[in-house]
Amino acid sequence: MTDILTRKTGRAGHITLTRPKALNALSWEMCLEAEKALDAWAEDPEVALVILDATGERAFCAGGDIAEMYRRGLGGDLDFGRRFWADEYRMNAKLAAYPKPIVAFMHGFIMGGGVGLGGHCSHRVVGESAQVAMPECGIGFVPDVGGSYLLARAPGRLGAHLALTAARMGPGDAIHAGFADLFMPEESWPLVKDRLIETGEVSALEEAARPAPASPMAQAQAEIDALYSSGDLGAIEAALASAESDLAQAALKQVRRNSPLSMAVTLAMLDRLGRAPEDIRAALAQEYRVAHRIMQQGDFLEGVRAQLIDKDRTPRWSLPLGGVPEERVAALLAPLGEDELAL
């Protein structure tokens, strides 16, 4: 079986991730195959909508498959990662601008590359098992695949909280934060997909949707807004350290664990995008500037080593939490000239 299955059934184009043992981690080849199907169906009169889902019980997609990227980068091959990211980001942009409805059914872990795959579709369904997160700062990277776009649009300062702590969102939180649209019990999904395939009409979604579960993050919104109000990494750490709530203390532990450079760059990215960006392409272009340089100028290789390769969970970050020079941040976000992302 291949890692991704694309086919036409009834009135629907159907893309299914079929790599459950790897939590449907998204490889370069899977990105290209998904994009190929989307291109083929965009003007196909037989395809009224696209269904995007995944096999296995544990994950829709737990992220990008970066082990090979790490291995190549460690050996000095920076081109492999850059081309992977460029192709993946192009696919993210196509998902966001697709001329037909795309219905993403997201269950289990939806992280990093999984957010890039399902989070920009026109109709984003989450079930009761959904756990959504952007954990990139923990591996010395930044929220990418258009994740910075979603984070910037989240209510108040919730985007900063999600980015700096990799806090996991259940279905209610995901809808509150703008990472999903509808809650639907997973037992109803097979019947709903059958309806979509048969009719080519998205009205079946509203009929099957149920009230979203409560969102703890919505209930904590005022506290989150206050803790992250400054937009400055050092001030955020101080605010978290002085607060006594469980939320603040859990966030503080994560902030002190993640790459200081990655977190500072992430805050700058969100600030540059503003609170309500309208164009995902601008976010992707900014993300690619960082991705293009991250193996040479950032903590990516060390973060991946510590978290995913050696798994010692003790990364040796390049900078201390209170000492990230503005010029290091600016250098990662500077225009790339002729190497800018082409969408």
pLDDT of residue 331: 98
Per residue in 22-31, pLDDT (tens digit) is 999 999 999 9
**Domains of the chain and CATH, by start:** 4-339 (3.90.226.10)
Q: Is 178 considered catalytic here? A: no
What does the DSSP 8-state code read for residue 1? -
pLDDT of residue 71: 93
Per residue in 191-235, pLDDT (tens digit) is 999 999 999 999 999 999 999 999 999 999 999 999 999 989 999
Q: Is 136 considered catalytic here? A: yes
pLDDT of residue 65: 86
**Nearest CA among 263, 251, 195, 159 for reference residue 49:** 195
pLDDT of residue 276: 85
Residue 43 phi, psi (nearest 5): -120, 15
**Nearest CA among 68, 60, 144, 52 for reference residue 101:** 52
Q: Which of 33, 136, 237, 299 is catalytic?
A: 136
Per residue in 172-195, pLDDT (tens digit) is 999 999 999 999 999 999 999 999
Average pLDDT over residues 308-335: 96
pLDDT of residue 275: 86
Q: Which of 13, 63, 108, 113 is catalytic?
A: 113
Per residue in 102-149, pLDDT (tens digit) is 999 999 999 999 999 999 999 999 999 999 999 999 999 999 999 999
Residue 208 phi, psi (nearest 5): -95, -15
- Rounded Cα gap, residues 27 and 31, in angstroms: 6
Q: Is 144 considered catalytic here? A: yes
pLDDT of residue 231: 87
- Average pLDDT score over the chain: 97
The number of beta carbons lying within 10 Å of the beta carbon of residue 222 is: 9
Q: Is residue 284's pLDDT more than 70?
A: yes
Question: Dmax over Cα atoms in the chain, in whole Å?
Answer: 59
Q: Which of 33, 53, 63, 64 is catalytic?
A: 64
Contacts of 45 (CB under 8 A, 6+ apart): none
Please name the helix (run of DSSP H) or strand (run of DSSP E) that holds residue 54, with its range, or none: strand 49-54
- Cα-based distances in Å from 12 to 35, 43, 63, 222, 311: 16, 13, 25, 42, 41
What does the DSSP 8-state code read for residue 64? B
Q: Is residue 1's pLDDT more than 60?
A: no
Q: Is 43 considered catalytic here? A: no
Paired tokens of 258:
């993640």
- Rounded Cα gap, residues 37 and 52, in angstroms: 11
Per residue in 227-265, pLDDT (tens digit) is 999 989 999 999 999 999 999 999 999 999 999 999 999
Q: What is the tally of helices (H) and strands (E) in the chain?
A: 17, 9
- Rounded Cα gap, residues 81 and 59, in angstroms: 24
Average pLDDT over residues 3-22: 98
